[in-house]
Amino acid sequence: MSYSVYYKPITSIFWRKIKHVKGDGFVENKNTRWFILSDETRIEVPCDGVVFKFSKERFITIKRDMEKMSGPLSLNQE
């Protein structure tokens, strides 16, 4: 499953959209976010003065990946 990322400089009113994102992360020493697209393309966006929004599919993707590693999460804890 892929998701979309929206970003814009805080001084702008226009959002830009990155489609077909399958993974993302942060490079601290460069203060940069990176995104891996479905076709394995890597995009880097500097974080200084930039706002990011992630589509709801990102949460679903992360949850699914976590369940693959540890099994389904249960709300009933014993």
| 75 assigned to some structural domain | no
| 77 assigned to some structural domain | no
**3-state SS assignment for residue 63:** helix
| 78 assigned to some structural domain | no
> From the first residue on, what is the mean pLDDT of each consecutive set of 10 residues in the chain (78 residues)?
94 97 94 97 96 93 85 58
| 51 assigned to some structural domain | yes
Predicted TM-score of the model (pTM): 0.78
| 76 assigned to some structural domain | no
Within 10 Å of residue 16's Cβ, how many Cβ atoms? 12
Q: Residue 62 belongs to what domain range?
A: 3-69
- The DSSP symbol for 13 reads S
| 74 assigned to some structural domain | no
Angle among Cα 27, 10, 25 to the nearest 5 degrees reads: 20
In total, how many domains does the chain have? 1
Nearest to 24 by CA among 57, 72, 67: 57
Whole-angstrom distance, CA of residue 32 vs CA of residue 75: 36
